[in-house]
Amino acid sequence: MDRRPTKASLQSFKREILSHYKLNKRAMPWRDNTSPYYVVVSEIMLQQTQVDRVRTKFASFIKRFPDWKTLVQASNHQALSEWSGLGYNRRGLYLKRIAEIVAKNGEGCLKTKESLLELPGIGPNTAGSILAFAFNIPITFIETNVRSVFIHFFFKDSKKKISDSKIMPLIEQTMDTKEPREWYYALMDYGSYLKRSQPNPSRKSAHHIKQKPFKGSNRELRSNILKMLMNKGSSAFSVEKRFKSEWSAAQIRKSLTDLEKEGFLKKGGRVYQIA
């Protein structure tokens, strides 16, 4: 049976999470500097990407674009070039568009969930992360490590898949309203520990989706096209010739068209290049 949360069990849960955090907290540059810019950059990077990969890329990205202004002034080509290696390149473009909106409207557009959800590439969980980490606002949200922790403690013996609707009330009940930032750090660090020490508890989640392999996927094709065009434009014919051994001409043409529609590429005559 699921562990039924009582006041005592919730308090015991919180003590264990905080005790572990006190001894094992992870050092991250976006925790040392919780400015809205650092937090937004890190949260967009952390979408579907492991922390260790983000640490390295975050450092180089911040060195090149240390604030909203420098990112706004960068070209799409420069931003995507620095993003290269993280995958899901549209996130790099979203981040640049967010910077342009913040530069125009001020950081106030980052301070409510409603305004955050109007920004490109930001869903409910990323919005919650930004509010908690940049502004220390006590807001209920869920991400993979947080989900793992609550499933481990309260639904470990469940034979059924656990929906987030069952977890969210527990997150609300255990919220530290004075220091939500530190509480979420503690939850995420414990979730990371669980995944290293045992089978991933999130596999019990009703929302768990096994990521499809990158090799041979449309994501790989799009990434390869962007890399090819990063330094020099090429015709559709040249792109097809480069990748025809792995993808069909129809797949390649569709990816070129989609990348142009999404703002990654622009076309001059027959030549595609980074927008």
CA atoms within 13 A on the CB side of 117: 7
Q: What gap in Å lies between CA 154 and CA 186, rounded to an integer?
A: 17
Cβ neighbour number for residue 145 with a 10 Å cutoff: 20
pLDDT at 78 over 60: yes
Q: How confident is the model at residue 2 (pLDDT cuts 50, 70, 90)?
A: low
pLDDT surpasses 50 at 237 = yes
Cα–Cα distance measured from residue 109 to residue 111, given in angstroms and rounded to the nearest whole number: 6
Over the stretch 134-177, which tens digit does the pLDDT of each residue have? Answer: 999 999 999 999 999 999 999 988 888 999 999 999 999 999 99
Find out if CATH 3.40.50.2300 is the number for domain 7-26+139-204.
no
**Banded model confidence at residue 1, pLDDT cuts 50, 70, 90:** very low
Which bin fits 208, alpha (ψ -120 to 50), beta or left (φ > 0)? beta
Query: Going by C-beta distance under 8 Å and a sequence separation of 6 or more, which residues neighbour residue 220?
Result: 214
Has 43 been annotated as catalytic?
yes
Please answer whether residues 66 and 38 qualify as being in contact, where contact means their C-beta atoms are separated by less than 8 angstroms: no
Tell me what pLDDT residue 211 has: 66
Residue-wise pLDDT for 185-214, tens only, equals: 999 999 999 999 988 888 888 877 776 776
Set 43, 82, 143, 240: catalytic member: 43
CATH T-level fold of 218-274? Arc Repressor Mutant, subunit A (1.10.10)
CATH number for region 35-135:
1.10.340.30
pTM: 0.86
DSSP string, 146-202: HHHHHHHHHSTT-SSPBPHHHHHHHHHHT--SS-HHHHHHHHHHHHHHHHHHSS-GG
Rounded-to-integer distance, Cα 119 and Cα 131, Å: 14
pLDDT of residue 182 exceeding 70: yes
Pick from 75, 83, 79: nearest CA to 57: 83
53-70 pLDDT, tens digit each? 999 999 999 999 999 999
Q: Where in the chain is the domain with CATH 1.10.340.30?
A: 35-135
Burial of 232 (0-12, 13-18, 19+ CB in 10 A): exposed
Q: What is the mean pLDDT of the chain?
A: 92
Residue 71 in contact with residue 40, Cβ under 8 Å? Answer: no
Check pLDDT > 80 for residue 246: yes
Write the pLDDT tens digit of every residue in 79-133.
988 998 888 888 999 999 999 999 999 999 999 999 999 999 999 999 999 999 9
Q: Which residues of the chain form CATH 1.10.1670.10?
A: 7-26+139-204
